[in-house]
Structure 1
Amino acid sequence: MGTCLGSGDKHYQTFDGLKFDFQGTCTYTLAKYCGSAATLEPFTIDEKNANRGSQDISFLRVTNIYIYGYNISIYKREVGKVRLNGVITSLPVTLKDGKIRLYQKGLSTVMQTDVGLRVGYNKNWHLEITLPSSYYGAMCGLCGNFNQNPEDDMMSSNGIKVSAIMVWAASWKVQDRDPFCWHSCQENCLTCDESKRDLYGDDSHCGVISKAVGGPFRECHSTVSPENVFDNCIYDMCLNEGNKTILCVVLETYADTCGDHGVTVYDWRTPSSCDESGSWYSDETGGNGTNLTVSPIDGGDGHLHLHHCQVLWP
């Protein structure tokens, strides 16, 4: 049996006992079955880290487990609950005819499987992954290869042995739609705290872009994916301290793109308080809420990109 640990301000220990510290704030693959035996159930465990006040300190915010066709997400702040394929679900839960059991044990959310894989994560940022010996030598990721030799744990995702922890971790980065994440922050790194992301992601801000039921862009989603537009909107709003003129420009650009594809777009100006000029208006003042103008930047590829907007002061 082997155990991989992640705890506190991102202290790790692999299945083979290699200890290391890493403060990256992206999503990384911790443990993945990389063998070929048909008798072993494949799985992947990722973790998403986040900043905790200081740019020098990160902590584990969410654990994603992919097994038996499920995406099981355990969030730090959702005690007694998990997300099954994105849907918040109260514990306990039994899946796949008992092959997966999810339950709360004290401060920990626990997943137990019939193949012997056990994952426990508690609200004090402590993660514990336990594997049976049947997976011996068949693992990869930041938890190592589980062969009782810590000297060869630092294998990159393309199978090359590396000596630098940051290089090793960066090779196991998973795309997570977080433009603010970093592997190593020296100083003045861009950040956007979770409360601001929640605010800018609501239906009166960037959330209107991806709103499926009753949303103004709902008929466009299958033609022009809202994901990147939404992510870039959050990014712009964070960088510009919630300036709503930025929001109006992003929404107008998405609306125009949808229109170019012949897709019907419903009223988006009213819920987002954007006037016909693309500026934000305030009901309290009866006029524009800001006197800023926004210019998209030429990305050098023949297209204009709004995700790095310049704010021009008159």
Structure 2
Amino acid sequence: CCGEVALPNRHHNETWYLCNCTIARCLENNTIEIVEVKCEPPPKIECANGHPPIAVPDDDLCCWHWECDCVCTGWGDPHYVTFDGTYYSYQGNCTYVLFEEIRQTVDNFGVYIDNYDCGAQDLVSCPRNIIVRHETQTIQIVVTDLEKLYLQVWRNWTESNRFCTPCNKFNNPFLTIPSNTSLTTLLLHKIPELQANVTYNGLAFSVKLPFRLFGHNTQGQCGTCTNNKTEDCRLPSGEIISNCEIMADAWAVEDPRKPYCGTSIKPTKPPAPTCEPSLLCSFINGPVFEACHKVLPPTHFYQACVFDSCHVPDGNMECISLQQYALMCAGLGVCIDWRSHAPECPFTCPSHKVYNACGPAMPKTLWKEKLQTFITEKFYYTADRKNS
């Protein structure tokens, strides 16, 4: 048809992409028709994890489609919500794989969790450290004081160079950690080239990965990220089972500090709660969090709150479920000032700072990245210290 007018040779009615969202179509008599790419808004999809779908550009950057990002969270003693939204509780006190790739596309990339016994009455555990491995680096967020929740960032496990804020790899940003590592400050690992976020505040963690890079290629306690809950409980062998608590135990890793750990050890599961849940838990389903219900269902956080109120009484562990629900909603743009309704869950500020439930994760003077949409509760300098 078009002959040498359009190299290489094209056939009648053949189309090909040119540039700037235009398509060429071969007509008869060596004629080429140039038309603009027309994009029809795709129907919105529903994400199995309850999070709103994300609009993602197509490869040609002209049109777009919906995707469900991989979001895994854990908190309390501890409660997990997998990438695809499956909720389960698991009381192992070893070190475990939260996420690794099934087929390795990124060199040595994984996220791991170190749990410890934290229940005085029942056999329950809590997250102590979060470990992120990427290529030649190993970054660990460490709770150095379990009572006051002081946090430190360690690099490559050595005493001499364990602190790094931010961490650099060959003089280029490797992980952005915008934090002064004090008190219950939220710590954020951000790996720019992977668009991966890992957060930890000493009590709760979250792992967020883009579906376009990691969909159908995750395994570990966080599940498979396929937007299908039935595939979440994947064993290291690749077998899919129905019980994620059994699955979670299979992802223990060797830890020289915990020689008693291994995949053959079965943690004791506390009995189902039979007590009257704390009134704090009612806030999650009530009007205090009503705005949050519209962007993220409260069911899992309420279940976790009831579990904690029964198994760790008089410890205010319920506050962690409220805090985690508020934090997840803040990440979706909805701020909940819930602590004003729950004096049992105080957030103590230094004398020269004031509490702000809906501020940015870091002051602009300390963090230059444009992440204004990421909000979290924080304390700030009072008026007489703003210019100091």
| TM-score (norm: length of structure 2) | 0.44
Matching residue of 1:48: 114
**Residue 111 of structure 1, aligned match among 189, 192, 197:** 189
Q: Kindly tell me: are residues 87 and 108 of structure 1, through their superposed partners in 2, closer, same or farther at Cα, counting changes over 3 Å? A: farther
Comparing 54-63 with 76-85, which one deviates more in the overlay?
Answer: 76-85
Instruction: Report which of the two has the higher share of strand.
Output: 1
Q: Kindly tell me: are residues 11 and 26 of structure 1, through their superposed partners in 2, closer, same or farther at Cα, counting changes over 3 Å? A: same
* Offset at residue 91 of structure 1 (A): 5.0
Q: Describe how 1:167-206 pairs up with structure 2 within 5 A.
A: 167-177=246-256, 178-181=258-261, 183-185=266-268
Number of aligned residues: 184
Q: Kindly tell me: are residues 179 and 185 of structure 1, through their superposed partners in 2, closer, same or farther at Cα, counting changes over 3 Å? A: farther
Comparing 137-146 with 100-109, which one deviates more in the overlay?
Answer: 100-109
User: How well do the aligned residues superpose, as a CA RMSD in angstroms?
Assistant: 2.2
Matching residue of 2:206: 128
Cα pair 1:63 1:73 within 8 Å, conserved: yes
Cα pair 1:154 1:162 within 8 Å, conserved: yes
Cα pair 1:166 1:183 within 8 Å, conserved: no
Q: Kindly tell me: are residues 165 and 132 of structure 1, through their superposed partners in 2, closer, same or farther at Cα, counting changes over 3 Å? A: closer
Cα pair 1:80 1:91 within 8 Å, conserved: no
Q: Amino acid of the residue matched to residue 147 of structure 1?
A: T
What whole-Å deviation, never above 9, does each CA across 1:172-196 have from its counterpart, x for those lacking one?
Answer: 1101131455541379xxxxxxxxx
Q: Kindly tell me: are residues 9 and 135 of structure 1, through their superposed partners in 2, closer, same or farther at Cα, counting changes over 3 Å? A: same
Q: d(CA) in 2 for partners of 1:153 and 1:186?
A: 20
Between 1 and 2, higher relative CO (CA 8 Å, sep ≥ 6) is seen in: 1
Comparing 2-11 with 98-107, which one deviates more in the overlay?
Answer: 98-107
* Offset at residue 68 of structure 1 (A): 2.1
Cα pair 1:25 1:183 within 8 Å, conserved: no
* Offset at residue 166 of structure 1 (A): 3.6
Q: Kindly tell me: are residues 93 and 144 of structure 1, through their superposed partners in 2, closer, same or farther at Cα, counting changes over 3 Å? A: same
Q: Describe how 1:228-247 pairs up with structure 2 within 5 A.
A: none
**Residue 230 of structure 2, aligned match among 137, 151, 166:** 151
* Same amino acid, percent of matched pairs: 24
Comparing 136-145 with 78-87, which one deviates more in the overlay?
Answer: 78-87
What whole-Å deviation, never above 9, does each CA across 1:26-50 have from its counterpart, x for those lacking one?
Answer: 111011122244xx45511111110
Cα pair 1:10 1:58 within 8 Å, conserved: yes
1:86 to 2:157 alignment: yes
Q: Kindly tell me: are residues 183 and 60 of structure 1, through their superposed partners in 2, closer, same or farther at Cα, counting changes over 3 Å? A: farther
1:63 aligned counterpart, secondary structure:
strand
Cα pair 1:101 1:111 within 8 Å, conserved: yes
Q: d(CA) in 1 for partners of 2:248 and 2:215?
A: 22
Matching residue of 1:98: 173
1:75 aligned counterpart, secondary structure:
strand
* Offset at residue 6 of structure 1 (A): 0.7
Q: d(CA) in 2 for partners of 1:158 and 1:48?
A: 22
Q: Amino acid of the residue matched to residue 185 of structure 1?
A: T
Matching residue of 1:243: none
Matching residue of 1:164: 243
**Residue 8 of structure 1, aligned match among 65, 73, 76:** 76
Comparing 78-87 with 135-144, which one deviates more in the overlay?
Answer: 78-87
* Offset at residue 87 of structure 1 (A): 3.0
| TM-score (norm: length of structure 1) | 0.54
Q: d(CA) in 1 for partners of 2:219 and 2:89?
A: 18
Gaps of 5+ in 2: 1-68, 271-388
Cα pair 2:144 2:152 within 8 Å, conserved: no
Q: Amino acid of the residue matched to residue 128 of structure 1?
A: S
What whole-Å deviation, never above 9, does each CA across 1:110-163 have from its counterpart, x for those lacking one?
Answer: 11012111111102x100111012211111111111111111110101111123
Q: d(CA) in 2 for partners of 1:27 and 1:130?
A: 20
Cα pair 1:6 1:128 within 8 Å, conserved: yes
Q: Amino acid of the residue matched to residue 75 of structure 1?
A: V
2:116 aligned counterpart, secondary structure:
strand
Cα pair 1:25 1:50 within 8 Å, conserved: yes
Matching residue of 2:276: none
**Residue 66 of structure 1, aligned match among 113, 116, 133:** 133
* Offset at residue 80 of structure 1 (A): 5.0
Q: Amino acid of the residue matched to residue 268 of structure 2?
A: C
